[in-house]
Structure 1
Amino acid sequence: MKLAGRVGQVTPSLTLAIDAKAKAMKRDGIDVCSFSAGEPDFDTPNHIKLAAQTAIAQGKTRYGPAAGEPRLRDAIAHKLQTDNRLNYHAENIIVTNGGKHSLYNLMMALIEAGDEVIIPAPFWVSYPEMVKLAGGTPVIVPTTAESQYKITPDQLQNAITPQTRLLILNSPSNPTGMVYTPDEIRAIAQVVVDNDILVVSDEIYEKLLYDGAEHLSIGAASQEVFDRTIISSGFAKAYSMTGWRVGYLAAPIELITAVTKIQGHSTSNVCTFAQYGAIAALEGSQDCVEQMRLAFAERRLAILDLIDAMPGVTCVKPNGAFYVFINISKLGLSSLEFCDGLLNEQQVAVIPGIAFAADDHIRLSYATDMTTIERGLERLATFVKSKL
């Protein structure tokens, strides 16, 4: 069968592939310690589940508006106004099938052949693939541990060409866990304004911050950059709602209208009763978010202590999300070789850095229980020691 050429341009997701392999090994009875998936191990909070159950009982199981339930769009706009100081209204919001879908829709509506999209590396695996599917050209800008894996204003300026359409900014970051400071965000914002490009800010991890880190949404830096800002986010990480598939995009009305048109011909509305769960997430108590954040904070310190005790590897201390990004360059293995060996020899699943354009690193998610962290890191230490 002849497939469309665009399929051949896209690399399969290594994160999903390794997570699937680890789960298959577990089903076969193998004791696997998995640090692969970026998925909280907590159950969705009860008040959110109850809201969806109530919505089902009330018959909210039919088609809805393609752009989302009006009450949820209002709630998202209110959240962005109060939490992020972004002057969005309901008409600036579209509800999507997860945060990933919001970004895919954005690329379909905005990017075409000849357009360049600047992506700081390390990056989340799907960013460049979405750009390629839209016909655009990903422009990868490498960062280093010395800059805490964050793009500098000078790097951004040097990467901009007449073909530049969009910058993708992710803070807190997947895979590194790094958070841009407010001053760093303002400096990046000025480059965006000076060059009259657009920026999409992926803020899915904004609630997961540690050590006093502060999240400033780039659109709040000035009115000039707000006019050029698009926000992508969702409910998966902060509310442990990964399987609910509810995300959103916030943008100028013209862009939201275009994205709604695309969504209307592809997925139509997001699951109606799931949206009522999302409403409860925003309108209910936020204590559940803080409880999970505190648990992640405890796990973060534990996993960092265990990594620091390992010779041969290093790790920049992250202050957001729930990932550690470990440098394995001293071991003389590619990240795929490392991860395959670790899974086969020690039954520990981690993600190779090549998936994020950093082949001398691996990513571990600490969105798992403390017992798994302690047992898995002991096995990781044994494996690392065997390669020195």
Structure 2
Amino acid sequence: MSEEFPPVPRPPLAAAPPWVPGARDAGSAADERVLSAHQLRERGVPAATARRLCRPGGPWQMPLPGVFLLHPGPPTGEETVRAALCYAGGRPGEAVVTGLAALALHGFSAAPPLAALERVDVLVPRTRRLRSAGRVCLVRTSALPRAVTAGGFPVAPAARALADAIAHLPGTPEVRRLLGEAVRGGHCEPRAVVRELAWAGLLGRPVVAEAVRTLPAEGRAVAEELLMDTVRAAGLPDPCWNVGLWLPDGPFLGTVDAYWPRPAVAVRIDAWRPGPVPGPEQDPERRARDRRLHQTLLGLGVGVVRVTPRGLREAPGRQAEVLAGALRAAAGRPPATYVVVMPR
């Protein structure tokens, strides 16, 4: 009778090496829970060990070639972005998050949350031979934008990320919501948005062209709110808002965004306006009318202050000082020619 031997038990899957940061700490940062094969080797974990830990039932995962997630659960949105950057690799600044993922990191409420994105777009130099994989879409470009930091990641500036996102959005409502939030939220100026859309060849799309037509109204509304906030925060007297100026029994002079009848100071916002060619040199007729109004008001003894939406947003205190200085200077001048003030 043959002797029976008990079956030899199979060794259990190895646990994650305790010396690897973030291997068991679910609350650690995404850059500690997502590591490349190279980063693991630097921590003393051979590639074979890392792959073994990614077997079914193991404590790790490999969501992308050469990229390891050091826990068994689904990745968070931040971990997905970190994995995409690890996969793209390259020198610092040669992998830049763009598209909807970048807009989410910029804080766009109209962009889906990171965890809900089906793809993460990453800009890389055109010379890179790496291919897209999994949820990572590599976008090759000959001109990488200078990255900004948002959410702890290198991302494309908002205007560039917006253009890259719109390139893959077919619907008008989504495009309009993103463009409107870009301007209303102060993420970028309308001119910068249109410039990026033009460089991407998107202005010819009816969906995009229709949405772009709403930008001037969005930009002006935001700028007017910023001007009102600046005046009131500085404790300056309330002017007449959004008015037209006429000579008594004479011609219409033009419109201004704010006007103090005494001591005769007008404020004009240099907001972006649409034109046949996007950019700062557009609409020459309108610029000529603006110059004529400026010179006419000065000739009538009216002080004119020009402000920009960017200045109101980024340096409201400085703009308030300019306005206060203009009011003080006008108070010491002879009375200006009387003009009729009417709502716009």
TM-score range, shorter chain: under 0.3
Q: Which has the higher helix share?
A: 1
Greater relative contact order: 1 or 2 (C-alpha under 8 angstroms, separation 6 or more)?
1
Taking structure 2 as the reference length, the TM-score comes to: 0.24
Taking structure 1 as the reference length, the TM-score comes to: 0.22
